Amino acid sequence: MAVEHLWPGVPPQVCQFHALRDASKPAFEADRKVKTAMRKQLQRKVKAVHQQLSRDTPKAAAAEAEQLSVLADYATGVLCALNRDGTAPFDFAAVQAGEDLDEVAQSLERLPKKGEP
């Protein structure tokens, strides 16, 4: 009200961050749904693998235990990617999770070839 009295007819400027956040809300919601679907589908499976790896590692021989712990780290990485939270308007969780999983997949491809991560 005070601003209108001071400068009648001058449009008050709004915060650009919040304007973009409001404008991108539907897109952000779509992204959130994709990420939620991915997490629901994959998280349970990855957790199961992670638990198996954690259970087997202490029982395995030293060399194998080291390899299993490396795989456990990969599983942890996948879980972290699936549990990312986005922040509107720029940080989209599903996009970031997809990029993270791409990196994990590429690294997993190299793993059997080189024998190391």
Partner 1 sequence: MSLRCAQKLARLWAIVAERVAWEQQQVQVKRMRQWVLDAEHILDGSWAQAGEVVSNATVGERLDAWWQELAKQGTDGTLSELEQACLTKFLQILANLRPHLVSTMTGRTFHAPTMNWNAAFALSRCSIAASAAARTGTAMYCATDAASRMRPGGSKMRSINSNWSSVRPGSTVQAFANFDGRSPLPRVNNANAFASIISVSNTLSPLKLAGLLLLQRNFCPHGKSSAFITAVSDDITFSAASTLPVRASHTRYTVSFPFSG
Instruction: Catalog residues that contact partner 1 under the rule CB under 8 A.
Output: 1-3, 5-8, 10-20, 22-27, 30-31, 34, 37-38, 41-42, 45-46, 49, 52-53, 56, 60, 64, 67-68, 71, 74-75, 78, 89-90, 92, 94-95, 98, 101, 104-105, 108-109, 111-112, 115
CB of 54 to partner 1, least distance (A): 11
The DSSP secondary-structure symbol of 7 reads S
CB of 100 to partner 1, least distance (A): 10
d(CA 117, CA 106): 10
d(CA 92, CA 36): 12
Comparing CA positions, the residue from 91, 87, 89, 102 lying closest to residue 38 is 102
CB of 49 to partner 1, least distance (A): 6
For residue 63 the two structure tokens come to 């060399």
